[in-house]
Amino acid sequence: MTVLITGGAGFIGSNLARHINRVSPETEVRIFDDLSTGRMSNLEGVRAQFVEGTLSDPAAVDAAVDGVTAIAHLGALGSVPRSVDNPVGSHSANLTGTLNLLEAARSRDAYVTFASSSSVYGANTALPKSEFDWTRPMSPYAVTKLGAEAYVLAYTHSYGLPTLAFRFFNVYGPYQPADHAYAAVIPRFVDAALSGQPAVVHGDGQQSRDFTHVDSVCQTLWSAIDRRLNLPDPVNLAFGTRTTLLELLDVIEDVVGGPIAREHVGSRAGDVRASQSDGVRLREYFPDVAPTPLKEGIESTVDWFRRTAEA
């Protein structure tokens, strides 16, 4: 079987390629990526065919999908603030790109898993979140994810294409970079801790997230692909934890073994206050996937940062 990973040079995609190499060495991995945020260095030691191209180009996407059995569609411009700065760019990569991908997949009956996002719940403050709670995106990024996920599920209903849409929550772990303007909170905090800089906290730090280690995400994606699990509704890919940013800093301090100064700045537009899955559907359909405890996950992340700095 050949699995296509769009966005495979990115954080989650490169972890998934490694995971598939390890658990199913006979599976061929093909990566399609425009390297807009991904890096070839993430793929060091990965066994995969690399195809450079953009999801916005239907012909390039069609060629990349040819001959594949399954697709992990992870390619997108991530980050809420990036989409607030450039909504049209996010729309083109995330929404038009997904439509191009689905069109290519449907003529070949390729199984599609998709990375939607917890940001789709947006203004809905109910906690914890079930997949059947109402959605109200608060950023262009969240709109693209809700629209793309709706397309993915509609392709099952309209064309019988086997699909599964996951709503990722805050994923973290090795290969998640800290060195760009839209970096996620865990790499930013770990980088600050290791370089002796203050951690920049947007708002009061009481905003909370259901942090999910990338290993659990890869196990879940592979399990879906391996079983060709087709569900008509999305699945939250998080286990139901709720950690505030200040609690997260405490865990990082514990792991690095020293205090981290905190610098509070203004809140960011489009950010949600609290995010937590109920974890029910994930446990129902993926009972074998175990969550990585936060401290253990932070240890593996700090290890990766230290090894990268030494290299």
Pairing of the two strands 208-209 and 243-244: antiparallel
Q: Which of 46, 75, 80, 104 binds ligand NAD (CB under 6 A)?
A: 75
Per CB under 6 A, does 297 bind ligand NAD? no
Q: Can you tell me the distance from the alpha carbon of 311 to that of 308, in angstroms, rounded to the nearest whole number?
A: 5
Q: Can you tell me the distance from the alpha carbon of 267 to that of 130, in angstroms, rounded to the nearest whole number?
A: 26
Per CB under 6 A, contacts with ligand NAD among 21-50 are 33-38
Per CB under 6 A, does 13 bind ligand NAD? yes
Nearer to ligand NAD, 179 or 196 (CB): 179
Q: Which of 97, 174, 234, 291 binds ligand NAD (CB under 6 A)?
A: 97
Q: Select from 4-12, 99-107, 247-255, 296-304 the region that touches ligand NAD (CB under 6 A).
A: 4-12
Question: For residue 120, with 0-12 CB atoms within 10 Å meaning exposed, 13-18 middle and 19 or more buried, which class applies?
Answer: buried
Per CB under 6 A, does 12 bind ligand NAD? yes
Per CB under 6 A, does 243 bind ligand NAD? no
Q: Can you tell me the distance from the alpha carbon of 74 to that of 6, in angstroms, rounded to the nearest whole number?
A: 5
Q: Can you tell me the distance from the alpha carbon of 171 to that of 169, in angstroms, rounded to the nearest whole number?
A: 6
Question: With b meaning 16 or more CB within 10 Å and e meaning fewer, what string describes 170-185?
Answer: bbbbbbbbbeeeeebb
Nearer to ligand NAD, 9 or 26 (CB): 9
Minimum CB separation from ligand NAD for residue 15, in Å?
A: 8
Q: Can you tell me the distance from the alpha carbon of 268 to that of 287, in angstroms, rounded to the nearest whole number?
A: 36
Minimum CB separation from ligand NAD for residue 7, in Å?
A: 3
Per CB under 6 A, does 171 bind ligand NAD? yes
Binding residues with ligand NAD: total (CB under 6 A): 28
Per CB under 6 A, does 174 bind ligand NAD? no
Q: Which of 3, 4, 5, 10 binds ligand NAD (CB under 6 A)?
A: 10
Site string for ligand NAD, 116-155 (x = CB under 6 A): -x--------------------------------------
Nearer to ligand NAD, 56 or 300 (CB): 56
Nearer to ligand NAD, 223 or 257 (CB): 223
Q: Which of 273, 245, 115 is nearest to 188 (CA)?
A: 245
Q: Can you tell me the distance from the alpha carbon of 149 to that of 126, in angstroms, rounded to the nearest whole number?
A: 21
Q: Which of 301, 282, 294, 149 is nearest to 220 (CA)?
A: 282
Per CB under 6 A, does 270 bind ligand NAD? no
| Alpha helix segments (H runs only) across the chain | 11-23, 58-65, 80-85, 87-90, 97-106, 140-159, 185-195, 214-227, 245-256, 280-285, 294-310
Site string for ligand NAD, 176-215 (x = CB under 6 A): --------x-------------------------------
Residues forming the site for ligand NAD (CB under 6 A): 7, 9-13, 33-38, 54-56, 74-78, 93, 97, 115, 117, 168, 170-171, 184
